[in-house]
Structures are given as C-alpha cells and as structure tokens.
C-alpha cells in the first residue's frame, strides 16, 4: 500500500473513533438526566396524591360530624322520651335543639355524599397518575440502561480502534502524518477526502484535471478550495 492509501485507511479509522467518541459523549451526558416526561409524571402524581389525601380527610371529617350529630340526637331523644323531664319549657327547648340538629345532619349528609364522590374521583386520578408514573419510570430506566450500554460499547470500541490506529500510523511518514493531523484540526476532523467524478467530496468543488490525475496516480495533492489532501482511489 502506498502512503496515501494508508492515510486514507487512517482517515476511516479516525472518523469511526470520532463518531464513537461523540456517541459516548452524548450517552454520558444523558446518564442521570431526568427527562421532561418523567418530571411531568412525577409532578402530576405528587399533585394528585396530595389532592387524594385532602379529599379523604374532608370525607372523614364530614363522616365524623354525621356520627357526632347522630349520637347527640339519640341522646336528646332518649332524654326527651324518658319521662324524667316534665318542665314544658325545657321539653320545648330540647325539641327545638333536636330539630336544629336533624336539619344540620341532613345538610352534612348531603355534603358527605358529595365528598365521597370527590374522594373516589381523586382516588381514580391518583391511580391513573401512579400508572403513568410507573410507565415513565420504566421507560426512563430502560433508556438509562441503553445509554450506559452505548457508553461502554463506545469506550471499548475507541480503545480497540486506537490500538489499530497506532499500527497504521507507524507505516506513514511522519511529515505526512503531521500534515494530516494539522488538517484534521482545521477541517472538522477530515484531513483527506475522496475524489468523486472530478469533485472534492470535502467541499464539493470541481478539481482541475491535473489534480485529479495526480491524485489517481497516488501523488499527494490537495484541493485548492478546502485545502484537504485528495484521495484518487486505487
Ligand atoms: Zn475541497
């Protein structure tokens, strides 16, 4: 293989390494990052869980009031019909109190029915948000595992390709290798490009016939437009 052919092989390896590094970098950045979907699901479930606790507390409070009034009415009824109270004024007063308590009990019972419905609705909403949170959490965990796998694979790939790269660079004359390294720094990682039907594939400029021919015969020539070394093929 000529020096230019080896350089062309090196460019292929370098591009693979660069791409693997980019994949690994993206994966590393994503590891530990909570997605907006998961954040929304967490917030939604937290809100609905709080709403459920409030609704159940309201329901219990009303149920307690119902029990309390029912007991007070029973006590007053028992006293009223026990025959121990004979004072008409006192009897009338007790009857009035019982009437008030019954009215109040009716109101509270209605509110309790509404509160029971509200608590049931809150329970269903909380169950739905819990299921949604579970789904989002599973999806996130799967994605995290995939990102870790991507990072591991990228690391392993880069390590093995770097070993291959060393073996290749050993076969390239140091001045050419240095030139290629400079070009890679200046030209987004691409120091040598193929010629495709007389055109530089690095910058899409038509190359003079002399350049194309020189490249085809294995000479080291560059594109006058982008400055990269052009590879004319075997
Ligand atoms: Zn070019």
Task: Write the pLDDT tens digit of every residue in 74-123.
Answer: 999 999 999 898 899 999 999 999 999 999 999 999 999 999 999 999 99
Q: Angle at which helices 88-169 and 3-30 pack, to 10 degrees?
A: 170
| Ligand 1 center to 2 CA (angstroms) | 22
18, part of any domain: no
Query: Could you tell me if residue 210 is inside a domain?
Result: yes
What pLDDT does residue 1 have?
A: 84
CA–CA–CA angle 18, 19, 21 (5° rounding): 65
Work out the percent of the chain whose per-residue pLDDT is above 90.
95
Q: What is the pLDDT of residue 151?
A: 98
The number of domains in the chain is 2
Arithmetic mean of pLDDT, 45-64: 98
Contact 105, 70 (CB under 8 A): yes
Q: What tens digit of pLDDT does each residue of 2-19 get?
A: 999 999 999 999 999 999
Give the residue from 153, 169, 185 where a domain finishes: 169
Ligand 1: centre distance to CA 227 (Å): 6
130-143: pLDDT as tens digits: 999 999 999 999 99
User: Do 104 and 38 share a structural domain?
Assistant: yes
My answer on whether 162 and 177 are in the same domain is no
Cα separation, 36 vs 226, in Å, equals 42
Q: Residue 168 Cα, ligand 1 centroid: separation in angstroms?
A: 24
Q: Is residue 33 part of a domain?
A: yes
The half-sphere exposure of 43 on its side-chain side, counting CA atoms within 13 A, is 7
Last residue of a domain, one of 120, 140, 169: 169
How far, in Å, is the centroid of ligand 1 from the Cα of 194?
9
Instruction: Assess whether 165 and 52 both reside in one domain.
Output: yes
- Domain interval for residue 154: 26-169
What is the whole-number distance in angstroms between the Cα of residue 163 and the centre of ligand 1? 30
| Strand extents, DSSP E, the chain | 192-196, 199-200, 221-222, 229-231
Ligand 1 centroid from CA 165, angstroms: 25
Mean pLDDT of 204-221: 93
Ligand 1 mean position, distance from CA 170 (Å)? 27
What's the helix, strand, coil split of the chain in %, to 5?
75, 5, 20
The helix/strand/coil state of 205 is coil
Q: State the DSSP code for 33.
A: P
pLDDT of residue 107: 98
What is the CA angle 85-91-96, rounded to 5? 145
How far does CA 5 lie from the centroid of its chain?
A: 44
Domain boundary among 150, 169, 188: 169
Distance from Cα 80 to the centre of ligand 1, integer Å: 108
Q: How far is it, in rounded angstroms, from Cα 71 to Cα 77?
A: 10
CA of 8 to the centre of ligand 1 (A): 15
**What pLDDT shows up at residue 233?**
78
Q: Are residues 71 and 42 in the same domain?
A: yes
pLDDT at 72: 97
β 199-200/221-222 pair status: unpaired
What is the overall mean pLDDT for the chain? 96
Q: How far, in Å, is the centroid of ligand 1 from the Cα of 228?
A: 6
Q: What is the pLDDT of residue 229?
A: 97
User: Is position 10 within any domain?
Assistant: no
Give me the pLDDT at residue 218, please: 87
Q: Quick check: 207 pLDDT over 90?
A: yes
3-state secondary structure of 9: helix
For residues 36 and 80, membership in a common domain is answered with: yes
Q: How many Å lie between the centroid of ligand 1 and the Cα of residue 183?
A: 12
* Residue 4 placed within a domain: no
Q: What is the pLDDT of residue 234?
A: 52
CA 90 / ligand 1 centre spacing (Å)? 110
Residue among 44, 64, 62, 45 nearest 117 (CA): 62
């Amino acid at each position: 293989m000529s020096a230019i052919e080896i350089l062309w092989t090196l460019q292929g390896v370098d591009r693979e390494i660069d791409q693997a590094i980019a994949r690994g970098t993206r994966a590393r950045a994503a590891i530990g990052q909570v997605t907006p979907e998961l954040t929304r699901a967490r917030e939604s479930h937290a809100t609905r869980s709080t709403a459920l606790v409030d609704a159940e507390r309201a329901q219990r409070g009303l149920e307690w009031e119902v029990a309390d009034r029912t007991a007070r009415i029973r006590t007053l009824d028992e006293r009223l019909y026990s025959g121990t109270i004979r004072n008409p004024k006192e009897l009338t007063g007790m009857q009035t109190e019982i009437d008030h308590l019954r009215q109040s009990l009716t109101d509270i019972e209605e509110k309790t029915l509404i509160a029971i419905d509200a608590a049931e609705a809150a329970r269903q909403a909380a169950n739905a948000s819990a299921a949604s949170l579970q789904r989002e959490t599973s999806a996130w965990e799967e994605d995290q595992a995939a990102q870790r796998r991507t990072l591991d694979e990228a690391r392993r790939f880069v390590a093995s390709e770097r070993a291959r790269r060393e073996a290749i660079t050993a076969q390239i004359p140091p001045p050419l290798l240095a030139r290629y390294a400079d070009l890679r720094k200046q030209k987004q990682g691409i120091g040598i490009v193929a010629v495709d039907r007389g055109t530089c594939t690095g910058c899409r400029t038509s190359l003079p016939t002399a350049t194309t021919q020189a490249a085809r015969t294995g000479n080291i020539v560059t594109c006058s437009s982008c400055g990269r070394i052009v590879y004319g093929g075997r």
